[in-house]
């Protein structure tokens, strides 16, 4: 028997209930994992509350984790017992001490990347790799704007953009977050609550605007993001923290020949196995070489997943929250 966290009905953190369950042997094409670190994401909260109706209940939430391969199922190649792996999946099942997983979703973790750091950085890192290398390939000479530049994804995106030679402008909501964005590599930071950030962007760029805006805020910033773009600029909307974005008519893009993208990291890495392996290798290389980093995660026992959700919702945690079986 193995510990797992099950949701039977939507609700508050208290609906996350520890249960003992039996995990059978891996089926064809599967790995059996003994999990060592499980990432907690806001997506999990949306699933728990019923905002996202994507988990069949009763069910085990959790999109991503890290573990050791205990056994391989029939037909599996490239993995063996003892291999440390990371994964993300739309199929959930992450909040568990042990699980079976399709081998196609797993990637090996190289030496030198601790399990807790891999869990804290994997999904965010793949998202940032997609944004900086695939959705819009950043290079020296590009000037970009990143909203929420001190957040989990934002801070990593600042680091990656600077590593690629781009000049980064970042927005944040208070002095501490502005300092964090500056330390991550922003050449210029703007408090979006107290400053006219569009005017500040135009001033910093000599009136031209930026080549790319990375906007995970959504409704509250999307129009300003379009205004802050230079001619032929690219608006990348990859989140909606302030609410969903209203429809944008093509003629609104025509005014400055803008491009609009709304990428989903799962689509990018599911195209083919080689894409997932290359993206993961880029993330792990950055972590090993230290130009990419995440704050030390807050560790919470798996059995106390409800407390982990309370902590994430309070926004009091510094860095990612990781469950430890």
**Is the same domain home to 147 and 189?**
yes
List alpha helices for 6-151, DSSP H.
42-49, 115-130
| Single residue among 263, 282, 298 that ends a domain in this structure | 263
In a domain, 134, yes or no: no
**Is the same domain home to 241 and 176?**
yes
**Is the same domain home to 145 and 251?**
yes
Residue 240: what pLDDT? 80
Alpha carbon of 137 to those of 131, 198, 212, 263: distances in Å?
A: 8, 23, 10, 14
**Is the same domain home to 113 and 192?**
no
In a domain, 47, yes or no: yes
- Sheet containing 210-215: which strands, arranged edge to edge? 188-191, 167-172, 143-146, 210-215, 229-237, 259-261
Residue count (the chain): 325
175-184 vs 152-163: helix axis angle to the nearest 10?
Answer: 30
CATH number, residue 94: 3.90.180.10
Q: Find residue 221's DSSP bridge partners.
A: none
Residue 66: what pLDDT? 98
Residue 242: what pLDDT? 79
In a domain, 215, yes or no: yes
Residue 236: what pLDDT? 97
For the chain, what is the domain count?
2
| Single residue among 244, 263, 282 that ends a domain in this structure | 263
Residue by residue, DSSP assigns 289-314 as HTSS--PPPEEEEGGGHHHHHHHHHH
**Is the same domain home to 102 and 15?**
yes
In a domain, 128, yes or no: no
Q: Which of 266, 298, 268, 141 minimizes the C-alpha distance to 212?
A: 141
In a domain, 297, yes or no: yes
In this structure, are residues 235 and 261 in contact, taking their beta carbons and an 8 Å threshold? Answer: yes
In a domain, 129, yes or no: no
Residue 76: exposure state from Cβ atoms within 10 A (0-12, 13-18, ≥19): buried
Residue 313: what pLDDT? 87
H or E segment to which residue 159 belongs: helix 152-163
Residue 239: what pLDDT? 85
H or E segment to which residue 168 belongs: strand 167-172
CATH number, residue 166: 3.40.50.720
Q: How far is residue 276's CA from residue 270's CA, in Å, rounded to a whole number?
A: 7
Low-confidence stretches of the chain (pLDDT < 50) are none
In a domain, 83, yes or no: yes
**Is the same domain home to 253 and 303?**
no
**Is the same domain home to 180 and 217?**
yes
Q: How far is residue 286's CA from residue 298's CA, in Å, rounded to a whole number?
A: 21
**Is the same domain home to 54 and 150?**
no
In a domain, 130, yes or no: no
Residue 80: what pLDDT? 97
**Is the same domain home to 100 and 41?**
yes
Model confidence over 192-225: pLDDT tens digits? 999 999 999 999 999 999 999 999 988 899 999 9
| Residue 201 per-residue DSSP state | H
Q: Find residue 323's DSSP bridge partners.
A: 38, 300
Q: Taking the CA atoms of the chain, what radius of gyration do you get in angstroms?
A: 20
Residue 272: what pLDDT? 84
Residue 241: what pLDDT? 79
**Is the same domain home to 85 and 183?**
no
The domain containing residue 242 runs over which residues?
139-263
**Is the same domain home to 143 and 258?**
yes
**Is the same domain home to 211 and 308?**
no
Placement of tokens 């993206």 in the chain: 279
């Amino acid at each position: 028997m193995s510990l797992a966290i099950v949701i039977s009905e939507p609700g508050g953190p208290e609906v996350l209930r520890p249960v003992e369950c039996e995990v059978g042997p891996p089926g064809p094409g599967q790995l059996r994992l003994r999990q060592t670190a499980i990432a907690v994401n806001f997506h999990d909260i949306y699933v728990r509350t019923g905002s996202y109706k994507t988990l069949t209940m009763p069910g085990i939430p959790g999109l991503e984790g890290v573990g050791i391969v205990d056994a391989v199922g029939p037909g599996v190649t490239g993995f063996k017992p003892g291999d440390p792996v990371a994964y993300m999946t739309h199929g959930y099942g992450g909040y568990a001490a042990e699980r079976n997983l399709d081998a196609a979703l797993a990637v090996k973790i190289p030496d030198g990347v601790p399990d807790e750091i891999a869990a804290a950085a994997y999904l965010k890192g793949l998202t940032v790799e997609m944004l900086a290398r695939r959705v819009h390939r950043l290079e020296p000479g590009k000037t970009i704007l990143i909203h929420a530049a001190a957040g989990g994804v934002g801070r990593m995106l600042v680091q990656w953009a600077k590593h690629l030679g781009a000049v980064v402008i970042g927005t944040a909501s208070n002095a501490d977050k502005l300092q964090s964005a500056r330390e991550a590599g922003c050449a210029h930071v703007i408090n979006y609550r107290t400053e006219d950030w569009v005017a500040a962007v135009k001033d910093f760029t000599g009136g031209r605007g930026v080549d790319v805006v990375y906007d995970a805020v959504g409704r509250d910033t999307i129009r300003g993001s379009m205004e802050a773009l230079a001619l032929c600029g690219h608006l990348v909307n990859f989140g909606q923290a302030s609410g969903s974005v209203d429809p944008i008519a093509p003629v609104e893009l025509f005014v400055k020949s803008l491009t609009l993208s709304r990428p989903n990291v799962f689509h990018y890495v599911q195209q083919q196995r080689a894409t997932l392996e290359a993206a993961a290798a880029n993330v792990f290389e950055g972590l090993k070489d230290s130009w990419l980093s995440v704050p030390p995660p807050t560790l919470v026992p798996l059995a106390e997943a409800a407390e982990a959700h309370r902590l994430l919702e309070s926004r009091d945690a510094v860095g990612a929250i990781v469950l430890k079986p």
